[in-house]
Structure 1
Amino acid sequence: MTRKQRRLTLIAAALAVLGVALGLVLFAMRDSIVFFYSPTDIEAKAVAPGTRLRLGGLVAAGSVVKGEGQNVTFAVTDTNRSITVRYTGLLPDLFREGQGVVAEGVLEGPGLFRADSVLAKHDENYMPREVADSLKEQGLWQHSGKADAPAGSPTTASE
């Protein structure tokens, strides 16, 4: 082999190894690229107990039960399925029934999730995109369609 042929062979082999490595990484991450799972996703994918993940959806109406100390139990729903969430700690100020929430923790069993942290929506217009898409697919999306004006700015109704 000439020097040029050895160099081309080495480059081709390096590209092949890089391609295989990239393929393996993408294959391994195919299910974990999602920001969070909805209750329906968890059931459909048969996620094993003990798996660490993020659970997102709406806090089910009438499901918030405050226990002793900082223990709270509530249900997260995507309007198809619900999962009971147990959380110990301070809840965000904006946490309430009917609002979007993302809980990070461990799936303990069918229909039971132990959360380490809970994130609530930050204003009236925010909802995780996946939750909004799920609600739109079910025909339950109710968005006003108008953005709130910044504080202190005039609105078209007052002009």
Structure 2
Amino acid sequence: MKPRARRLAWIAGALAALGAASALVLNAFQSNVMFFVSPTQIVEGHVASGTRLRVGGLVEKGSLSRDEHGLTVRFSVTDTARAIPVVYRGVLPDLFREGKGVVAQGTLMPDGTFVADQVLAKHDENYMPPDAADAVNRARSTLRVSGGASAEARR
């Protein structure tokens, strides 16, 4: 094989290896990406069931209940416009309270229930995750624009 042909073969092999490595890295990133959605987006059907995602908002007052063993917790997350039921099995963070900000990570079931495998609570009185704060603000502005209908009437 001539030196020129050998050099072209090395370049082609290096480009193929670089392309394969890039494809593997992008595939790993895609499988670890989790999107943040609001309860309104879930209720309106913008998310397919079985999708892993993060949902955030406020823990709806009066929605918190535990099973008899105390490990399975059920509550609703709301963005003040819509709410979705969440089921979590495990120990909740110390700062988890009704009416406070929360981000739950997990899977959306076909019946509309969100099964969380991780629950994060806001850490002080002034902080809410930026995505959750944006979702709450968008939901509030939607309520104002639509004539101020109550959140109960919109569910």
Question: TM-score per shorter chain, which class?
Answer: 0.5 to 0.7
The amino acid across from 1:120 in the alignment is A
Q: How far did 1:30 drift?
A: 4.8
1:18 alignment partner in structure 2: 18
The structure richer in helix per residue is 2
Tell me the alpha carbon deviations over residues 71-95 of structure 1, each in whole angstroms, 9 at most, x when there is no partner: 3211112344422112233322211
Q: Which structure 1 segments of 5+ residues have no match?
A: 141-159
- Percentage identity across paired residues of the two chains: 55
| Contact 2:93–2:119, Cα closer than 8 Å, also in 1 | yes
Q: SS of the residue aligned with 1:125?
A: coil
What is the RMSD of the two structures over their aligned residues, measured on CA atoms? 3.1
Aligned to 1:118: 119
Match of 2:83 in 1: 82
Cα shift readout 1:12-44 (whole Å, capped 9, x = no counterpart): 442245236525753675585235443344430
2:47 corresponding residue in structure 1: 45
In structure 1, the residue matched to 2:129 is 128
Label 1:78 to 1:120 Cα distance change in 2 as closer, same or farther (>3 A).
Answer: same
Residues in 1 aligned to 2:133 and 2:119: alpha-carbon distance in whole angstroms = 18
* Pairs aligned (count): 138
The gaps in structure 2 that reach 5 residues or longer are 142-155
TM-score by length of 1: 0.64
Q: 1:37, 1:31 → 2: CA distance?
A: 17
Question: RCO (CA 8 Å, sep 6+): is it higher in 1 or 2?
Answer: 2
TM-score in terms of structure 2 length: 0.65
Could you tell me which amino acid in structure 1 is paired with residue 60 of structure 2? A
